[in-house]
Chain A
Amino acid sequence: MLNRPSNRSKQKSKEQIQLNLVPMIDALITLIIFLLFTMSIINLASIETPVPMASSRINQSKLKQKPLQLTLTFRKNSIELWSPFNLIRKKTIHHNPDGEPNLYELHETVIEIKQRFPNEKQIVLVPHRRVNYDELVSVIDSVRHFESSDAPLFISDQKTGIDEVVEILFPEVVFGNLLGG
């Protein structure tokens, strides 16, 4: 006997429809395994340095004032900060007694120089041939990045006149003794 039209839909809804989740779980597990195998676990960062280029004659003639050209000479036992045009006093920072570079003093000195020359962006690195890559990276970090405990440094935008926070101390790191041999 047929149900009344009003009862037909109610009767259908009472039947339990069970979704088959097993193939869906299979697909998800396959995807997770694929992603786990292909994703990079090591979180890499990069430090970019350009090849030093000789400035053209036009640029040289355009220079009205001497550039700072902050140079960091990385010796086996010390670090020297100086300018070829004598715009800053040469500072020698000796390594710690354990032979490691004194990164704290270096960082403090670089901040002082940046405060005096806020528009300077380049630092020339002249490392000794026996300096380790690890030490080199730590020195580059010290001259490029602010510590969380450092006071913020502001620079006035020449176009807008608005003060902006300096985010990187000396972003352009160039190796000075690269092509000279």
Chain B
Amino acid sequence: MRKSRFIRARNKRRSIRQKFDLQLTSMLDILVIILVFLLKTFAVSTNSFTTVPGIKIPITRSPDGPPDSLHLIVTPESMTFEDEKILEFVLEGTFPTDAEEANYEFKRNDLDEGGRRVLPLYDALMEAKDQSELLRARSKARDDEGNPLPFDGVLAIQADKRIHYDTLRKIMYTAATAGYKVFRFLAMKNE
């Protein structure tokens, strides 16, 4: 009796080995569903904004998604414009990333106009503005009077939530003097 059970089990194993065929259709179904979901999500996000490690972004109830524009990132250590580091803040000692307060001290050489304008940022913004105006002048797109389309002057600011308004004001003042008319503060959507 015991022997026959073993023989049956062995035969069963053998039969499984012989007939085993991986069912790929169900796997394909799952993959197609994932792909459709990802493609739909991908189509919604039209901007190319990235973030950097160590930055804590505030949360907002604003439902507006940010359209693509020139992008400034302000972390407790540095300022990055269009993926290029333009200045570093003066750090006093070691700065923990989870600290409640952040010290945004500019170097003396980086400020002018009585400490209101940030020079490296102004230079970077002017360069980006000139490039944009050059591209618009070369483009075939024209307004009703046949002139090149004007510079839109939008700056997206992605700043650490611990930044003080004093620093933010210096950034906005610098951008305003460089001809930028609209600021877009980026925050995490509250869902």
Contacts and interface: CB of A to CB of B under 8 A. Distances in A.
Interface stretch (A2-10, A82-90, A114-122, A126-134): A126-134
Nearest to A46: B66
Contacts, number: 147
B60 A141 contact: yes
A69 B154 CA distance: 24
A131 B109 CA distance: 25
A1 interface: no
B61 interface: yes
B25 A179 contact: no
A65 to B, nearest CB: 28
Interface string A125-166: 001111111101110110011000000000000000000000
B6 interface: no
Interface residues of B, number: 55
Nearest to B27: A25
Interface in B1-49: 24-25, 27-28, 31-32, 34-35, 38-39, 41-42, 45, 47, 49
A21 B28 contact: yes
A56 interface: no
B166 A47 contact: no
B163 A133 contact: yes
Contact of B161 (A21, A36, A137): A137
Given A28-B28, A48-B64, 16 more contacts: A21-B25, A40-B45, A40-B49, A44-B49, A45-B186, A49-B183, A51-B180, A51-B183, A130-B165, A131-B164, A132-B161, A132-B165, A133-B164, A134-B58, A136-B165, A141-B62
